[in-house]
Amino acid sequence: MIPYPNIDPDLVQIGPLRIRWYGVMYVLGFIASYFLIQKQERSRQIGLVGPIVQDLIFYLAIGLILGGRLGYVLFYEFNDYGSYLRNPLEIFATWHGGMSFHGGFIGVLLAAILFCRRRKLPFAAVADSIVVTTPIGLGLGRIGNFINAELLGLPTDLPWGMIFPGGGPLPRHPSQLYEAFFEGVVLFALLWVLRRRPFPDGMMVVFFLFFYGIGRFFIEFVKEPDPQIGYLFTYFTMGQILCAMMVLAAILLASLIHLRSSKPEQQ
C-alpha cells in the first residue's frame, strides 16, 4: 500500500477567497494549449497564431465550463431533474462541483464551430490542432481529481492501492492517476506523433475520440460508479456508455472522412 499524500485542495486561501488546485489545472491546461496549438505546422498554414489563438482559447474556456456543467446535469443527474426545474440557476452552479468530460467536449466542439464560422477558418483543421493539445489539460485535470480525493477507484489489494479520505478503510485503485497517465501522457504522445503524418483534416479528432474512448472504457472497470446512478445494464458505468458512443462516433467520422477524401479519385 502507498500512503495517500493528503495535499490540501486549496492552493491559496485568503479569507473567503480560495484558489484550488483543480482550478489551477484548468488554467495550466489552457496555457499549454495556447502554446502547443501554435507549434503545429497545420495551425500556421491556416493562420491560427497569435491573437487569433487567444480568442480561440477564450471560446474554448467558455464552452468547456458551460458544456461540462450542463453535461453533468444531463448525463449524471437525470434522477434529480425535478430539483433543477424548481431551481434552474443551480444548473450553472459550477462551484458546487460536478463537471462532465463528455459534456465539456461537446461544449468545446460547439464553441470551436462558432469560432471558425466567425473567423472563416476550416473547422476540421482547427479541431485537429485543438484536440492534439487536449490530453495535457485532461491529464492535469485528473491530477486535480486526485488531489481532491474524488472519483475514487474500487478497493484493491495491489501494492499501489491507497486509502483515500472519505473512501473508507480499504485501499483503493488510484484510478485518477491511471487516467492522468493514459489520458494525459500516453494520449498526448500518440497524437503528437500522429499529427506529423499526412492524414486528411479531421483525423486527429478521430484518433482522439477512438483512443480516449477505448482507454477510459477499460479504466472505468476499476472506478467506483457514480453513487446517484450506480451501474447501468448491470455492469457498465455512465462513463463507459458515453465512451462507447465516442468510439462509434470515431468510426463514423473516419468513414465520412474516407468517403470525402476518396471522391476526387473516383471522378
Task: Note down pLDDT in tens along the chain; length 267 residues.
Answer: 899 998 999 999 888 888 899 999 999 999 999 999 999 999 999 999 999 999 999 999 999 999 998 888 888 887 777 777 777 777 777 666 678 999 999 999 999 999 999 999 999 999 999 999 999 999 999 999 999 999 999 999 999 999 999 899 999 999 999 999 999 999 999 999 999 999 999 999 999 999 999 999 999 999 999 888 999 998 999 999 999 999 999 999 999 999 988 775 544
CB neighbour class for 24 (10 Å; exposed up to 12, middle 13-18, buried from 19) = middle
Kindly state whether residue 113 falls inside one of the protein's structural domains.
no
Kindly state whether residue 193 falls inside one of the protein's structural domains.
yes
Give 13's contacts (C-beta < 8 A, 6+ positions apart).
Answer: 19
Kindly state whether residue 120 falls inside one of the protein's structural domains.
no
Helices 123-147 and 187-194 meet at what angle, rounded to 10?
Answer: 160
Element (H, E) at 230: none
Kindly state whether residue 140 falls inside one of the protein's structural domains.
yes
For 170, half-sphere exposure in the C-beta direction (CA atoms, 13 angstrom radius) is: 9
Q: Contact at 8 Å (CB) between 221 and 243? A: no
Q: Which domain holds residue 172?
A: 10-47+127-266
Q: Bridge-partner residues for 223, per DSSP?
A: 153
Instruction: Report the C-alpha gap between 164 and 3 in whole angstroms.
Output: 9
Tracing cell 499501489 back to the chain, one arrives at 160
Instruction: Report the C-alpha gap between 95 and 68 in whole angstroms.
Output: 12
Domain count for the chain, please give it: 1
Kindly state whether residue 93 falls inside one of the protein's structural domains.
no
Q: For 235-249, write each residue's pLDDT tens digit.
A: 999 999 999 999 999
What pTM value is reported for the model? 0.92
Q: For 110-151, write each residue's pLDDT tens digit.
A: 999 999 999 999 999 999 999 999 999 999 999 999 999 999
CA distances to 101, 110, 155, 171, 256 from 104, in Å: 5, 10, 29, 31, 24
